[in-house]
Structure 1
Amino acid sequence: MRVHKLTFAALAVAASLSLTACNGDDTTAQGDPSSASSESSSSGGSGSGGSDQGDAEQGGGKDSGGQNSGGTDEGNGSNADGQTAKCRTDALNITASDSTISGDPDGTVAVTLENSGEDCALSGFAGVDLKTSEGSLSAERRGEPAERMILKNGKSVSFGINYPMNDSGGSGVKITGLVVTPPGESKSFSLEWPGAGTLPVTDGSGTPVQVGPIGSAGQGS
């Protein structure tokens, strides 16, 4: 009987050890969820990248604002100094008419520049070249350069071209056209010549054609 009691006691001890081991495994298993929760929290922390994206969007807003201010600068009709930009050939309606006064020894052609764009600035002299049967003939400037003026949209200003009349009785030099270059511009505009058809033949010492400053043929309109 004593042997059986020892055996039962041994079995009881073994069962107790077995239960303790099982409880230890359960404790470890419960530790795993807390670890997973910590990882999930860390993952949620990296979600602050949404704030980084927000910062990036705010940065984009600043860029957009810069572009808007740039658009305003381009659309104000001014140059880099804030002054009204010079008149461009493409924005001017250029016409020419015979303005010779009866009894004058010289002929006169008035060239009118009408602004069809934004307000712009003019000053000095326009470039004038006559196309002739003998080649191109550049006009000589006469008088003081015009001071800077603002030519508003729809307004016009004129200047005069003076040339000698061909009273020699000979055929003279035939005029075939007129080329005008607005002040400060490199692009020219070609017109029909409205004045007398010929110039007297010269000795080649200089041009007989003269151009006045902007505004020299009237006050504009």
Structure 2
Amino acid sequence: MRAAPLAVTALAAALLLTGCSGDNDSSGGDKATASPDNGTTCRIGAMDVEVGPANVAPAAGDTGNIPVTLTNQSADCTLDGFPGVDLKAADSSASLAPAQGATATKLTLAKGTAATFTLTYTRGEADAGASLDVTTLEIGLPGADTRKSFKWSYGPVQGKGGKAADPTASVGAFTQAGD
């Protein structure tokens, strides 16, 4: 009689391991990678991503803040590092650095739980050489290869030192959202 429970246990383990492979899934091919606590790296394709509502910078020189909330829709996973954020314009793009003084914390997200981070930017003048006329916001997670794109509707971003390719913008660390 012990053969049946052992067979069921073996089948369940095989199915569980098959479900964790991450190969060629709908997230664009990110592979779930092992992390030191035996969890998996969170994948953007397994997240419900909400951008905003934003505290939009109304005029050139003003600062705006855009919260981004990621809700895990899959198995437990880990965020370890900073989000990867690129601002894309028609003919150029720029990757954002972490906010000055920000410290990355390692978060484990169970299915249905959320984390958030904030993108802060200074609005630039439209069609100015010192501003990046952003059209798309691209977000990726640490340790994963794929990204999700979102329409940018917050105006141009001011460049540092008159250089549009070096935007005055940064990303904050992940924090646990909710209760």
The verdict on a shared fold, with TM-score over 0.5 as the criterion, is yes
In structure 1, the residue matched to 2:39 is: 84
TM-score (norm. length: structure 1): 0.57
Among 176, 185, 205, the alignment partner of 2:135 is 176
Cα distance in 2 for partners of 1:69, 1:102 equals: 52
Indicate the structure with greater strand content: 2
The structure number with the bigger radius of gyration is 1
- Aligned residue pairs total 155
Gaps of 5+ in 2: 1-6, 21-32
Amino acid at match of 1:136: S
SS in 2 for 1:184: coil
Pick from 113, 116, 138: which aligns with 2:95? 138
Is structure 2 residue 144 aligned with structure 1 residue 189? no
- In structure 1, what is the Cα distance between the partners aligned to 2:155 and 2:126? 13
Partner of 2:69: 112
Give the alignment of 1:1-221 within 5 angstroms: 68=11, 71=14, 74=17, 79=34, 83-100=38-55, 105-142=62-99, 143-166=101-124, 168=125, 171=128, 172-194=131-153, 196-202=154-160, 203-204=162-163, 206-215=166-175, 219-221=176-178
TM-score by length of 2: 0.69
Greater relative contact order (CA < 8 Å, ≥ 6 in sequence) = 2
The alignment-based identity, stated in percent, is 24
Contact 1:107 1:164 in 2 (8 A): yes
Q: Does the 8 Å contact 1:89/1:187 carry over to 2?
A: yes
Q: Secondary structure at the match of 2:167?
A: coil
* 2:111 alignment partner AA: N
RMSD over equivalenced CA pairs, Å: 3.5
CA distance in 1, matches of 2:97, 2:19: 36
CA contact (8 A) 1:138 1:209 kept: no
SS of the aligned residue for 2:52 comes to strand
Q: Which has the higher helix share?
A: 1
Identify unmatched segments of 5+ residues in structure 1. 1-63
> Could you tell me whether the CA contact under 8 Å between 2:57 and 2:123 is conserved in 1?
no
Q: Contact 1:130–1:137 (CA<8 Å) still a contact in 2? A: yes
Decide whether the 8 Å contact of 1:95 with 1:191 is kept in 2.
Answer: no
Distance 1:102 1:181 in 2: 24
SS in 2 for 1:146: coil
